Chain A
Amino acid sequence: MIPLELYLLVSALLFVIGIIGVLIRREAIVIFMSIEMMLSAVGIALVAASRVYEGLDGMILAFLGMTVAASEAAIGLAIFVLLHRTYKGVKVDEINLLKG
């Protein structure tokens, strides 16, 4: 039986790598992919907890998170496509229309 802490460590690693990816990269697509990785990392933690505590709730929560990630992916990518029509290459560093 692999201890829960190790699974949590893996989940944390993936999550943090995802954050670093968000911070570093300039292209919107790669940022998006990093965000998806973060969501998946959270799933790992949830499922591991569900195994250790012998309940299925964590798994169901991870599943619902996956659902949300899917619909978010659809919409987000649609937005990218739209932005591409205007900006020709979605570079987050250059879009600052919300500057206040």
Chain B
Amino acid sequence: MIEYVWLIPLFPAIGFLINGLISRWYNLPKAFIAWVACSALALSFIGSAAVFFELLKLPLELRVKIPDVILFDWVVSGDLRTVIGYKVDPLSMVMALVVTGVSFLIHVYSVGYMHEDPGFARYFSYLNLFVFMMLNLVLANNFLLMFLGWEGVGLCSYLLIGFWFENEAPPRAGLKAFIVNRVGDFGFLIGLFLIFSKLGTLVFDEVFAKAHLLDPWTVTLITLMLFVGATGKSAQLPLYVWLPDAMEGPTPVSSLIHAATMVTAGVYMVARCHVLYEMAPLSMMVVATVGALTAIFAASMALVQVDFKRILAYSTISQLGYMFLAVGVGAYSAGIFHLMTHAFFKALLFLAAGSVMHGLAGELDIRRMGQLKEKMPITFWTFLLAALAIAGIPGFSGFFSKDEILWNAFSSPKGHLILWLIGLITAGMTAFYMFRLCFMAFFGRFRGDHEVFHHAHESPPIMTIPMIVLAVLSVIGGYVGIPHVLGGHNYFHEFLSPIFKIHENLPHGEGSEKLELLLMVLSVAVALFGIFLAFNLYLRNPELPKRLSQKWPKAYKVLWNKYYVDEIYGFIFVEGSKGFGRILWHNFDEAVIDRTVNWIGSLMKVMGAGLRFFQTGFVRDYIVGILVGALILMLLIL
């Protein structure tokens, strides 16, 4: 089965072609489109599962020695020889399972959510294309194919964010996403060029085998450049600004692309290149610091947002910061673990947002919600489970993954106390803003239009069943990674260990176990405190938040305006580029180039006028000309 791993990306590609090409000229029935798209994903998932089980049959060490499945030569040019090849090892299969599984559930959900939309066929073809690109990214065996997937998911993100292009905001948001991504991709490309120029190959196995030949500065530069790409794709500082705006797209798109899959590509990339990162401690420090700072920065902005999806967007940025913090301190499997659990509960949170929007006819402002748990019970209960997971309450998946990250941030030789502290504070803020959202939306009294409340209804089963599945996963998904101190066996860590084991070295022993338990208790306490605070501020004393915002108006304003980052970027980069372009236009294009071209034209005129002098029309003059010519010829010959 492993030799057929290339079928996994192929199915969504076929789905894209069928839905995309045929519906150009022929209006396909919605049922057909839905079946094609969803079954493509289902087949992909089954394929991933089959390969996964094949993988499990092998002993641990052999799992990383499976030869890459190579399809054909792709780019053969001079020294560069890349192939379309797929790599089967524990890391890629974990990613493939997560991507195909969550994508499948979201596809099913979308059938219900997008049912009334005229762009139904276009939506599903884009979605299938996206999954194809993402699978190429995670299954690739060389940097170039991974970059193909990298760019491809950026493209699909642009297409899907700007899906409702008739309005003004979505295309602008899509463009912003693509351009900011592009800045990151530039860094990624520089990293690729350096790798190729120093090592002569782009295939993962060969690069990592030869990596020890590089000097430390080169490796640091390469890893930093690759990380720049990751900050663009995974929305870290300073290239995160596109993600909140990306909420203009349909909600299932936000759920799939901007929560579970595309934004995790950066984390996957760092994990995949851990050999390189281990050689560059400076880069790892940068990764961890950026991750931690992003986490707390984004969480702070989520505290005051009033748009349901925006809160979740900032939460995503924050949680991605956790993942980078993990891989930055060397805890690669912890980062991937959190990637997986986050995929479950964040996707679910977004689907719940979609469900709420669907029921309230498009309302997104949480100031106009409330009391929804009576009207939308399934949505409420699934949302609650996901919120508990993300807050890190014991028993739920988020607890195990987040705690592993915090423990590693504290104890790993590359970790630091401050990093852990930032992570802890952010955990508290996470719990706070999630439950602020929960209480404001589902509890209390409805604060919006009464007509809207009257019509509010639960979503149809085609939407709620995927949510229920994801809720179950959000709860039990963490049990594959129960840490040792709690008496469990961390299957997840063990599964990924053949890849990472050389580099992961966590302290064990008596003292450290007690420390780990202590930190665990601390983080749970912080989370419970956050929930309690949210309960106080938004359920018991609803006027308190307003009094607080009036007490510190400046701080509130800064947070409300997201630290004015968008405005700063707009001024420096957008206006700067426009001004530079204007200079080039007036001072160079018009003055220099146009003048030169016109001068050449007038030169022709002058030459013509000069030559016209000889065309007198008199035979006599022509005879003289002949004479002179003959004379010259004679001079030349003799």
How far, in angstroms, from A70 to B612 measured CA to CA in the complex?
Answer: 35
How far, in angstroms, from A95 to B621 measured CA to CA in the complex?
Answer: 12
How far, in angstroms, from A69 to B616 measured CA to CA in the complex?
Answer: 27
Query: A24 — nearest CB in chain B belongs to which residue?
Result: B620
Residue B209 lies at the interface, judged by CB distance under 8 Å to chain A: no
Q: A19-B627, A23-B624 are in contact. Are A95 and B616 (CB under 8 A)?
A: no
The answer to whether B619 and A95 touch across the interface, beta carbons within 8 angstroms, is yes
Residue B633 lies at the interface, judged by CB distance under 8 Å to chain A: no
The answer to whether B615 and A23 touch across the interface, beta carbons within 8 angstroms, is no
Instruction: Kindly supply a per-residue 1/0 record for chain B positions 15-50, scoring 1 wherever the CB is within 8 Å of any chain A CB and 0 otherwise.
Output: 000000000000000000000000000000000000
The answer to whether B620 and A98 touch across the interface, beta carbons within 8 angstroms, is no
The answer to whether B623 and A93 touch across the interface, beta carbons within 8 angstroms, is no
Residue A96 lies at the interface, judged by CB distance under 8 Å to chain B: yes
* Chain B residues whose C-beta falls within 8 Å of the C-beta of A93 in the assembled complex: 618, 620
* Chain A residues whose C-beta falls within 8 Å of the C-beta of B118 in the assembled complex: none
The answer to whether A100 and B623 touch across the interface, beta carbons within 8 angstroms, is no
The answer to whether A100 and B618 touch across the interface, beta carbons within 8 angstroms, is no
**Min CB gap B545→A, angstroms:** 91
The answer to whether A96 and B618 touch across the interface, beta carbons within 8 angstroms, is yes
Q: A22-B623, A23-B624 are in contact. Are A95 and B618 (CB under 8 A)?
A: yes
Residue A92 lies at the interface, judged by CB distance under 8 Å to chain B: yes
**Min CB gap A77→B, angstroms:** 16
* Chain A residues whose C-beta falls within 8 Å of the C-beta of B617 in the assembled complex: 95-100
**Min CB gap A99→B, angstroms:** 3
Query: B622 — nearest CB in chain A belongs to which residue?
Result: A98
Contact residues of B between 204 and 228, Cβ < 8 Å to A: none
Interface residues of B: mostly helix, strand, loop or mixed? helix
Instruction: Give the interface size class of chain A.
Output: 10 to 19
Q: Looking at the complex, which one of B615, B619, B624, B627 makes contact with A92 (CB distance below 8 Å)?
A: B619
Instruction: Kindly supply a per-residue 1/0 record for chain A positions 57-100, scoring 1 wherever the CB is within 8 Å of any chain B CB and 0 otherwise.
Output: 00000000000000000000000000000000000110111111
How far, in angstroms, from A61 to B617 measured CA to CA in the complex?
Answer: 33
The answer to whether B620 and A100 touch across the interface, beta carbons within 8 angstroms, is no
**Min CB gap B631→A, angstroms:** 10
How far, in angstroms, from A100 to B609 measured CA to CA in the complex?
Answer: 10
Query: A94 — nearest CB in chain B belongs to which residue?
Result: B618
The answer to whether B620 and A92 touch across the interface, beta carbons within 8 angstroms, is yes
The answer to whether A96 and B616 touch across the interface, beta carbons within 8 angstroms, is yes
Query: B621 — nearest CB in chain A belongs to which residue?
Result: A96
Q: Which of B612, B618, B624 has most A Cβ within 10 Å? A: B618
Instruction: Kindly supply a per-residue 1/0 record for chain B positions 595-627, scoring 1 wherever the CB is within 8 Å of any chain A CB and 0 otherwise.
Output: 000000000000000001001111110011001
How far, in angstroms, from A19 to B623 measured CA to CA in the complex?
Answer: 9
The count of residues in chain B whose C-beta lies closer than 8 Å to any C-beta of chain A is: 10
**Min CB gap A76→B, angstroms:** 12
How far, in angstroms, from A93 to B622 measured CA to CA in the complex?
Answer: 12
Query: B611 — nearest CB in chain A belongs to which residue?
Result: A100
* Chain B residues whose C-beta falls within 8 Å of the C-beta of A23 in the assembled complex: 620, 623-624, 627
How far, in angstroms, from A14 to B612 measured CA to CA in the complex?
Answer: 34
Q: Looking at the complex, which one of B616, B620, B623, B624 makes contact with A99 (CB distance below 8 Å)?
A: B616
**Min CB gap B142→A, angstroms:** 68
**Min CB gap B626→A, angstroms:** 10
How far, in angstroms, from A95 to B623 measured CA to CA in the complex?
Answer: 14
How far, in angstroms, from A100 to B619 measured CA to CA in the complex?
Answer: 13
* Chain A residues whose C-beta falls within 8 Å of the C-beta of B620 in the assembled complex: 23, 92-93
Q: A22-B623, A23-B623 are in contact. Are A92 and B618 (CB under 8 A)?
A: yes
How far, in angstroms, from A95 to B617 measured CA to CA in the complex?
Answer: 7
The answer to whether B615 and A98 touch across the interface, beta carbons within 8 angstroms, is yes
* Chain B residues whose C-beta falls within 8 Å of the C-beta of A22 in the assembled complex: 623
How far, in angstroms, from A15 to B615 measured CA to CA in the complex?
Answer: 26
The answer to whether A99 and B619 touch across the interface, beta carbons within 8 angstroms, is no
* Chain B residues whose C-beta falls within 8 Å of the C-beta of A92 in the assembled complex: 618-620
**Min CB gap B526→A, angstroms:** 96
**Min CB gap B492→A, angstroms:** 91
* Chain B residues whose C-beta falls within 8 Å of the C-beta of A100 in the assembled complex: 612, 615, 617
How far, in angstroms, from A23 to B127 measured CA to CA in the complex?
Answer: 89
Query: B613 — nearest CB in chain A belongs to which residue?
Result: A100
Contact residues of B between 450 and 467, Cβ < 8 Å to A: none
How far, in angstroms, from A97 to B620 measured CA to CA in the complex?
Answer: 13
Query: A25 — nearest CB in chain B belongs to which residue?
Result: B620
* Chain A residues whose C-beta falls within 8 Å of the C-beta of B627 in the assembled complex: 19, 23
**Min CB gap B261→A, angstroms:** 75
**Min CB gap B160→A, angstroms:** 67
How far, in angstroms, from A84 to B616 measured CA to CA in the complex?
Answer: 21
**Min CB gap A97→B, angstroms:** 6
* Chain A residues whose C-beta falls within 8 Å of the C-beta of B618 in the assembled complex: 92-93, 95-96, 99
**Min CB gap A61→B, angstroms:** 19
**Min CB gap A39→B, angstroms:** 15
Q: A92-B620, A93-B618, A100-B615 are in contact. List 4 more A-B contacts (CB 8 A).
A: A23-B620, A23-B627, A95-B618, A99-B617
| 23 A–B pairs (Cβ distance < 8 Å), ordered by A | A19-B627, A22-B623, A23-B623, A23-B624, A23-B627, A92-B618, A92-B619, A92-B620, A93-B618, A93-B620, A95-B618, A96-B616, A96-B617, A96-B618, A98-B615, A98-B617, A99-B615, A99-B616, A99-B617, A99-B618, A100-B612, A100-B615, A100-B617
Pairs of residues from A and B, 8 with the lowest C-beta to C-beta distance, nearest first: A99-B617, A96-B617, A100-B615, A98-B617, A92-B619, A96-B618, A92-B620, A22-B623
